[in-house]
Structure 1
Amino acid sequence: MVVPKTEIDVYIGKFLNNRYLIKDLIGKGGMGRVYLAEDAAKGGILVAVKILMLSLGNQQISQRFAREIFIGAQLGRKSKNIVQVLSYGMTDDKTPFYVMEYLQGKNLKQILKVQPLTLVKFVDICQQICLGLQCAHQGISLKGEIYPIVHRDIKPENIFIIDDGKQGEIVKILDFGIAKFLTERSGMTLTDSFIGSLPYCSPEHMEGRKLLDVRSDIYSLGVLMFEMLTGKHPFQIESNTFGSWYQAHRFQAPPTPEQVNPEVKIPQVLKKLLLTCLAKEVSERPQTISQVLVVLEKIKRQVARDFSLESDSVSSPVNLVPVTSISEKECLQKTWPKNKPIASIGFPHLLHTTQGVIPTFWAMLPKQEITNFSDKYHSTEFIDKMNLYPMLLWVTVLYNAQFSLTKWLSYFLDLKDNRGQRIAKLLADRGYYHLLFFALEEPTQCANVMTLTLTAKQRQQLTDWLELEEKSHEAIASEQAKTILKAEYLNLKSEILQKLVERQQIAKLGFRAWLSQLFDKILQIISRS
């Protein structure tokens, strides 16, 4: 969540309300700035302080702000999927702020920039968002009455994901009630009040209807889900203006995910859910979040039922790279570089294609080996010792169980080098690379090409390593780093190979049969002990 400081900030180093010591700027958005702070009244524990972008000029607005914070505090206590609001106050210049639990992780916008979501992860995130919204929509008690709470600003920046360790990934919804306070009570113009949120607003919200209900949040959720699945917004606009966005939300028919991204393959029931959430008329959408949760649970069961490691349906991204993509066809037209020897070697190359720059790895092998390894089992590994030197060992492992053959292709990516950085960044951004095979016997033309995908975890690791490189100071020379990485690589070889053997066994037997065998082995071990 921490972002680097690019300017001097007047709040850093100051105490707010003689209690909260502002330590660092960790986020900026349309409604204000978020700071890391220490709570002096509670032993210096870390909290997040959001200072809003407006000054409260009169008593009525100050009371309204306090009421919205009270709402947020109640919701945070009721649901683990809503950020906890701990306190509120005003700076010396009457600028409002509120104090939240400090979350360590990333918001959904940051995640979607670097990694596509698996179908399982997509459903899990959506279910948690819905559980938070369901809690809010059911309402809170205020002076003996129940008030349903509509968020009004569901967007990727307001969905935060943390790794709890014990409970796994937990989704937290941010800014409950605050968006409504800003748009209705701050004296802003209509256009100003939508800065940063226009792409996710429901048509009725943009029309300024006073009595928005839960179905407005459901529309925003539909836009968010569409973007999570395709990597793109469902609507096209001519300019980033209020008028253009209103025309899109009110009159543009939502496309299917395949129309926006032909590589996306999702269950029919999920496609139907997306389009109903994006209905222009509130009466045609799901009427409650509970109805959305029912469909998501159905999708979750369907994915579990259809689970197969052979098709990699759970561990692969939703927007899979097609088996015969345009860039693959372009790879087949490539020739072996004249400055490279005709020998069993391998090296990375950034390939300029009609789809942009693609990371590739070129390998020359005997013709029979290319045949043996084509479309067989493979694995991509990254080995690092970033604490010593910013360098990665990028390993591609090819495996043919039938002939008990394994081929290890490796290359050092020096992240102090511009080329190494660019290759690592493109691997993270693209999420895949092409492996080009050239035959020793016929070395000129590319003989075959494979597309290897990276896991979401690997893509995030690459991004984190690149960020770490900017701050790192090498403790050893690059040649020493290579020696250490080679040793680590040798230690991991048997573990990597075992993983490939298990994948091959699972695919051959079927997941359920493999699982049954695994349980049998466990029972045998228990009985012997």
Structure 2
Amino acid sequence: MSTDPNINRILAERYRLADLVGQGAMGRVYRGEDTTLGGVTVAIKFLSQTLLNDKMRERFEREATICALLSEKSIHIVRVRDYGVDEHDIPFYVMEYLQGDNLNDIIAKTLMPLPRFFKIVRQICLGMEAAHEGIKFNGEQTSIIHRDIKPSNILVLEDASLGELVKVLDFGIAKLSQAGAAQTHSFMGTLAYCSPEQMEGKELDSRSDIYSFGIMMYEMLTGDMPIMPETNSFGGWYRAHHETPPIPFDPNLSVPTPLAFIIMQCMAKSREDRPQNAGDIWRAMEPLAKQFDRPLPQVAFHPDAAISIPQVNVTDESIADPEDNTQIIAASQRLEARAQTQSRTNDDVTIATAEICKRLPWPNDKPQQKIVFPQVITEEHHAIPSLWGMLDREELQKRCRDSRYNQFLCIEVPHPMLLWITALYNNELGAKWLPCYLDLKTTVGQQITRTLAQRGDYCILLFALGHPERCMHLTKATIAIRQRQQLIRWADQGQQLRGSDPDASKQRLREAYQELKGKILIKLEAARTNTNLMDY
């Protein structure tokens, strides 16, 4: 039973608050019902009570105004329907309730085929172009610079006519570019996606958003960031965006050369060298898009099915590290709730699986300590890989909305051994590491490794220390397709190789893991760093 006092509250004698669907430092978002319009589902965003000052109130109201006016121009902007202040003097605004997949989650699940890439990019361009062309604000035509273009601010919805409808979200730090207006020279944005001029706090125009868009397009096609700093600090990112050239596209991805050129041009350090507006990007891409203009296969929002794994020889490296295949999966802390069906929960764990997992107690043969171990769960005729862990109850309560990260390391000699790394991350507590080893010479190690590759995801069951009767938190992590392919190759090779010293292999993996932690933290922190305090 919920303890949130807002649940079932009637707001402005019209909106009934149903449940909390997102929260962050900036505020909370609830799913609600518009009782005046027959119970139409809406999303209602409140400004955090800790930010109730005149400056934040003005910014919050401006965000609502921008979205309301822009959504009149373009279907690719989230629509705002109402704005008000409640009886406690807390401002709120009411939006359309969106059910779909966040682009960040889509990127984490699979490499994006070019036809789908072009369809999504076209709609993002249309949304950006509408914002950059501007709105009438205080009687003046005003250009809108988003300043925080990134995958987590793009939502992809299933649509009967378009197939997929794309929405640009979160204009919380959008800048009104008005002629003659006094300009502020401060930095706001997400470090990993900021343009060089944005890092400098300079006056921005649409070309800053284009730089961020270039980084995002690269990520859509590769699953990776084109630029990484030496340290995850403002100074590290400042140097990276100013001095580090983007990593060229992997030839094995078969990205067309003209497309790669356009994306690289968007990431030019000098804004004069970038496409000058979003329309220019699509006009350059449209001839390429027509070459791939064919019906897309049914989009699988939940990658449960087995994949076709090509047979490729394993490299000769003693420790294989598919670093470029790692994925960060954002927690469900955004204003748009992920699509729900009768067969699935918010974290894409099937209801049947969730019911089974929540009934499972901590195994009697495992000590009730802060340990991590793998296990295969049987759901009807399906084998589901899972990771079990025990944490302090207080810490576990604070990690229910963490981002999830995974990566795999493998060593072949002296003994074929796999290190399965999972990390939970939030800005307050940092990273919680959940590593476990899989011996590829054992039946259990082979079964778990192949099931991970086939499923492409796994459940994470977290128990509170001293409460072994049932798991306190259940979530899911997704494995990138290239990692799934690598897991099969490692499993095949593990069967063929001779094993001799498992402890020595574990020690070498442990050393590689400690060296890798720093790089993983940079990725995790970069994905969550946002100086405007917007964490949806």
TM range (shorter): 0.5 to 0.7
CA separation of 1:323 and 1:423: change in aligned 2, threshold 3 A? closer
Q: Indicate yes or no: 2:264 matched with 1:246.
A: no
8 A Cα contact 2:147 2:173, kept in partner:
no
CA separation of 1:201 and 1:416: change in aligned 2, threshold 3 A? closer
Deviations 1:357-398 (A, max 9, x none): x9xxxxxxxxxxxxxxxxxxxxxxxxx99999669xxxxxxx
SS at match of 1:149: strand
Q: Measure the CA separation in 1 of the matches of 2:496 and 2:225.
A: 40
Q: Which residue matches 2:281?
A: 292
8 A Cα contact 1:327 1:353, kept in partner:
no
CA separation of 1:54 and 1:269: change in aligned 2, threshold 3 A? farther
What does 1:12-51 align with in structure 2 at a 5 Å threshold?
12-29=7-24, 31-51=26-46
What does 1:268-279 align with in structure 2 at a 5 Å threshold?
268-279=257-268
Q: Which residue matches 1:510?
A: none
Q: Which amino acid aligns with 2:290?
A: R
Q: Measure the CA separation in 1 of the matches of 2:321 and 2:54.
A: 60
Cα distance, 1:180 vs structure 2:
4.2
Cα distance, 1:31 vs structure 2:
3.8
Q: Which residue matches 1:429?
A: 479
CA separation of 1:429 and 1:272: change in aligned 2, threshold 3 A? same
Q: Which residue matches 1:52?
A: 47
SS at match of 1:257: coil
Let me know the Cα RMSD of the aligned residues: 4.3
Cα distance, 1:17 vs structure 2:
2.9
Q: Indicate yes or no: 2:121 matched with 1:105.
A: no
Q: Indicate yes or no: 2:382 matched with 1:413.
A: yes
CA separation of 1:221 and 1:417: change in aligned 2, threshold 3 A? closer
Q: Which amino acid aligns with 2:34?
A: D
8 A Cα contact 1:222 1:277, kept in partner:
yes
Q: Which amino acid aligns with 2:246?
A: P
Q: Measure the CA separation in 2 of the matches of 1:130 and 1:18.
A: 39
Q: Which residue matches 1:217?
A: 209
SS at match of 2:292: helix
Cα distance, 1:112 vs structure 2:
1.3
Q: Which amino acid aligns with 1:22?
A: L
Q: Measure the CA separation in 2 of the matches of 1:120 and 1:148.
A: 31
Cα distance, 1:124 vs structure 2:
0.9
Higher relative contact order (CA 8 A, sep 6+): 2
CA separation of 1:30 and 1:248: change in aligned 2, threshold 3 A? farther
TM-score, length basis structure 1: 0.57
CA separation of 1:180 and 1:28: change in aligned 2, threshold 3 A? farther
Q: Measure the CA separation in 2 of the matches of 1:149 and 1:430.
A: 35
Aligned mate of 2:196, from 203, 217, 223? 203
Cα distance, 1:57 vs structure 2:
4.7
Q: Measure the CA separation in 2 of the matches of 1:308 and 1:17.
A: 46
Deviations 1:393-422 (A, max 9, x none): xxxxxxxxxxxxxxxxxx942449886874
CA separation of 1:251 and 1:8: change in aligned 2, threshold 3 A? farther
Deviations 1:283-320 (A, max 9, x none): 1110111110111212202334xx899xx9x99x9xx9
CA separation of 1:23 and 1:325: change in aligned 2, threshold 3 A? same
Q: Measure the CA separation in 1 of the matches of 2:454 and 2:16.
A: 38
Cα distance, 1:178 vs structure 2:
4.4
SS at match of 1:113: helix
Larger helix fraction of residues: 1
Aligned mate of 1:283, from 268, 272, 281? 272
SS at match of 1:100: strand
8 A Cα contact 2:211 2:266, kept in partner:
yes
CA separation of 1:279 and 1:60: change in aligned 2, threshold 3 A? closer
SS at match of 2:229: coil
CA separation of 1:120 and 1:74: change in aligned 2, threshold 3 A? same
Cα distance, 1:9 vs structure 2:
4.1
Q: Which amino acid aligns with 1:207?
A: E
Q: Which amino acid aligns with 1:168?
A: G
SS at match of 1:76: helix
CA separation of 1:96 and 1:205: change in aligned 2, threshold 3 A? farther
CA separation of 1:205 and 1:389: change in aligned 2, threshold 3 A? closer
8 A Cα contact 1:263 1:321, kept in partner:
no
Q: Which amino acid aligns with 1:257?
A: F
Aligned mate of 1:169, from 145, 155, 164? 164
Q: Measure the CA separation in 2 of the matches of 1:97 and 1:423.
A: 45
Q: Measure the CA separation in 1 of the matches of 2:126 and 2:242.
A: 27
Cα distance, 1:59 vs structure 2:
5.6
Q: Structure 1 unaligned runs (5+)?
A: 182-187, 331-351, 359-383, 392-410, 437-443, 447-529
Q: Whose Rg is larger?
A: 1
Deviations 1:316-371 (A, max 9, x none): x9xx99966454999xxxxxxxxxxxxxxxxxxxxx97659x9xxxxxxxxxxxxx
CA separation of 1:70 and 1:389: change in aligned 2, threshold 3 A? closer
8 A Cα contact 1:326 1:355, kept in partner:
no
CA separation of 1:54 and 1:128: change in aligned 2, threshold 3 A? farther
8 A Cα contact 1:72 1:177, kept in partner:
no
Q: Measure the CA separation in 1 of the matches of 2:237 and 2:320.
A: 33
8 A Cα contact 2:29 2:45, kept in partner:
yes
Cα distance, 1:165 vs structure 2:
2.3
Deviations 1:90-144 (A, max 9, x none): 3455443221100111111111121221111111111100001111111112344
Q: Indicate yes or no: 2:66 matched with 1:71.
A: yes
8 A Cα contact 1:112 1:228, kept in partner:
yes
Percent identity, aligned pairs only, is 39
Q: Which residue matches 1:470?
A: none
